[in-house]
Chain A
């Protein structure tokens, strides 16, 4: 059982000041830790209860002792942003407390969420409809729009960070990579977002990027929901770039002004034209997909669903739509209407037991071996042929 009080220490003014701390910082609620449900490199997740209300909660206990630099950066980011964000589609941070004892640790008390979108996508016994997908997409964008209005970039959106409550509500979780949109010229690291959901500007090494990286990720999640399999499961960063351009066309200076000056852009701008792509299929330069190809690939999608997908996955981030435009798009207005959360499909009972608080204890790693290694090698070789320089 954790103790939210501070260690009492001896010193010039021992216990009285310690009592004063408790009094002034506020005696926090107490929680039970009922069982361990996950363990990652920097946190252990427990299922428990808030004793005053008997509410079921998840406790993400961050192992602090092993970090010689004090409070862990991911934990700080998560606490910093979740303390500010209050929205029905963003995971609720209920409390933070410090447990004392030999190994001091930081505990994030989070709302209990029984499943995540990745589990639903993978559970073959679960059937879902276009209206269900629309509902998950709407809730994702409602939460993401709210984050973006607070200038918070999530930077790690993927199906297993979109958690589902027992009432069917979707909540964006895991803000361990989040940050505020910096000033227009402040660089950020491009090595964010799990590879399969990484926007092309990040793959090309751009250090100046915007909220649009999150929109791209949701676009790829949308495709995954429709296909029920990861859409662009790249094995390496280079492979990811190749898959991305095969799906949406190799960007050119016309389609994406400035693309050739991005740090890791290695194509010859002279040759990356639509003409090359059309005339030489072996060039590694891909033309944008035709409407017909998109229809073939996403056979169940409506025309406005396809439009929406293409707008979210526009290569040039300046032309990609933002979250506000996403919410206003025709896709959400046409029939069928989104399924009400409480009527959304659930996991089959055997899978619906453990709480999830983000990708910490789960990983996409287990999916990475899905594709045949020689296919990837071949794609990379093709790409290597057109490479001017390789900086991956």
Chain B
């Protein structure tokens, strides 16, 4: 009974939450995390492939060097799969915040594991399935897999545990959409005569917030900061006036906000750019396949220089199922 309940600010509350405690980084921390995940996975795989080869060939070294994905390539593929989450979310007509939660689960998952350890195809559907549940939008597993062609119910159910555990069971994700709505309401009370302008800024800002999902903004900034940056991009004049009204008395804070929103803008712009094309995606998929399954890849493609397509959908169905199973039992 000692606590005075009103003493905590909203910022204090945010800092108590898991999004700040566990899932916020500086740019250099984030890079370090990804570098280390990539290095550990490459080393593990190299070691295992080496062991497998020695066992098979009685210690005789083949001299074939497997190319593992670099951290940059992993990131390219990750964003490619974030777009796939967005496409899949559209199939189920999911609201923006559920899609955003699923994308954030996916990005968080790959701060713990490499794409070489868990294939992103199965993980992305699992993230989406888990997001529908944690956001109170239940879809039964039967209905969920119904529109999917290459994903089994069991693979999603099996991975759900692993994904939830990898996320340290922190399932609550804050997005910029709610703060945008908050600013939207406040803007109306400050500038009652600029309704049309405010409404269109709100709509555009939501699209910028959506673009930010395809960047690291959510790991580096808070949702209200991202919301403010999105609104600034949507209508700078309006927001300058608004910020003058709100924070004009506090020049230091105002300058800080402007600096932060400028930084966020570059992430939003980056996130809004088109992601890798199908050719590049295919090349990366192939490289991923080889480093996950070097023996099979060698049998199928020879020592690395075949031009045979690795598009999974071109394979016979039976084989496809098998690859899928291998992907899920990777661990």
Contact = CB atoms under 8 A, between A and B. Distances in A.
Nearest to A7: B331
Interface string A137-153: 01100100110011000
Contacts, number: 118
Interface centre among B165, B166, B170 (most CB of A within 10 A): B165
B300 interface: no
A166 B157 CA distance: 39
Interface residues on B, range: 35 or more
Interface in A77-98: 77, 79-81, 83-84, 86, 88, 96, 98
B161 A71 contact: yes
A20 interface: yes
Interface in B18-63: 18, 40, 44-45, 47-48
A25 interface: yes
Nearest to B170: A83
Contacts of B165: 6, 25, 96, 98
A125 interface: no
A13 B330 contact: yes
A341 interface: yes
Interface string A115-149: 00000000000000000000100110010011001
Nearest to B171: A80
Given A13-B45, A142-B3, A327-B5, A69 B329 contact: no
A9 B133 contact: no
Nearest to B161: A98
Nearest to A180: B172
A17 B166 CA distance: 14
A79 B134 CA distance: 10
Interface in B72-110: none
A139 B156 CA distance: 42
Interface of A: 6, 9-14, 16-18, 20-21, 24-26, 68-71, 73, 76-77, 79-81, 83-84, 86, 88, 96, 98, 104, 106, 135, 138-139, 142, 145-146, 149-150, 179-180, 183, 324, 327, 338, 340-341
Interface of B: 1, 3, 5-6, 8, 13, 16-18, 40, 44-45, 47-48, 112-113, 117, 129-130, 133-134, 136, 138, 140-141, 156-157, 160-162, 164-166, 168-172, 178, 181, 292-293, 326, 329-331
Q: Which 8 A-B pairs have the closest CB atoms?
A: A11-B329, A80-B171, A96-B169, A70-B157, A70-B160, A17-B331, A69-B141, A79-B169
